[in-house]
Amino acid sequence: MSEWRGFPPPSRPIRVEGGIRARSRRGRIAQTWWSQRFIEVLESFGMGGRLQRGKNYARAGQVLNLTVSTSVVVGVVQGSRPEPYRVRIGIKAFSAQEWDRIERELAGQALFAAKLLAGEMPADVEEVFDRLGLRLFPATMRQLTMDCSCPDWEIPCKHLAAACYLLAESFDEDPFQILAWRGRGREELLDHLRKLRGTVAAGTSTSAEDAAPLAEHLDAFWTTPEAASTAPPPPDGDGPDDAAPEAVLDELDPLRVGGRDVTDLLRPAYRAMGR
């Protein structure tokens, strides 16, 4: 009789159809810097060997389902038993107050805001979180909660490791998945950034207050002289019908670009429309 050493005998997973397969067939799975960073963080916790065992599971399509939501990633992985295992990867979401600080910091830097609005994760975004005393990626293993319904006592087991690899690939496809995991969905974040970029002066950005004089006249600015009922008549005119075509431009506050008054550039166009 062989000596029992406390390790379960090797087993083969039950093959399934329609599972989520990793796009990478060999070598590195994560492609973008942010997904690579996520894998590097996990490996820094001493998970490298254990993660490797889940790579084959990820490439074989053993993960049946993977869902990212605030604070938790939930997956279903087919192992060697008929009943699939349920895996969970949890992390603490940032509070509403912390997200308010994060969004203001991101909106205050034009390049960061522009890249996020374009669907790209800025390369130095971790520094923004660091300045606020926060960490985008977990700093210690204690900041992650992992569990699986399988009998394996190791954390992460191969089922959790497979879910981690596919989670990294989901970050490749959509960097906002990382932020959603931390408590802020894509649309909500972008909506807040747009509003903040319109109301918070940051670097060369223009605040809503600075643009108010022109904004108050936008309804009439692009109308023809006939439709602009507020245009004053010229000194020698008989009434509104005799107003100069470009008279509406005289109602605007001065707007200068490159040292030139924009209204002067528009006058020929208004005269042509009047004719």
Domain ranges of the chain: 10-94+138-173, 96-133+176-204, 208-274
Instruction: Answer yes or no: is pLDDT of 56 > 60.
Output: yes
Report, as an integer, the average pLDDT of 212-238: 42
Q: Which two structure tokens, joined as six digits, stand for 55?
A: 């790579």
Instruction: Answer yes or no: is pLDDT of 51 > 80.
Output: no
Instruction: Answer yes or no: is pLDDT of 229 > 50.
Output: no
Report, as an integer, the average pLDDT of 207-225: 39
Instruction: Answer yes or no: is pLDDT of 68 > 80.
Output: yes
The band of 258, judged by pLDDT with boundaries at 50, 70 and 90, is low
What is the tens place of the pLDDT at every residue in 241-253?
A: 444 555 555 555 5
pTM: predicted TM-score of the whole model, two decimal places = 0.64
Q: Which two structure tokens, joined as six digits, stand for 7?
A: 């390790």
Q: Is 11 or 60 the better-scoring residue by pLDDT? A: 60
* DSSP three-state, residue 85: strand
The alpha carbon torsion through 267, 269, 273, 275 (nearest 10 deg) reads 70
69-78, 129-138, 160-169, 190-199: segment of lowest average pLDDT: 190-199
Q: Cβ distance 188 to 70 under 8 Å?
A: no
Instruction: Answer yes or no: is pLDDT of 270 > 60.
Output: no
The band of 32, judged by pLDDT with boundaries at 50, 70 and 90, is confident
Report, as an integer, the average pLDDT of 160-170: 91
**Using only C-alpha atoms, what is the Rg of the chain?**
29
Instruction: Answer yes or no: is pLDDT of 212 > 70.
Output: no
Report, as an integer, the average pLDDT of 184-213: 64
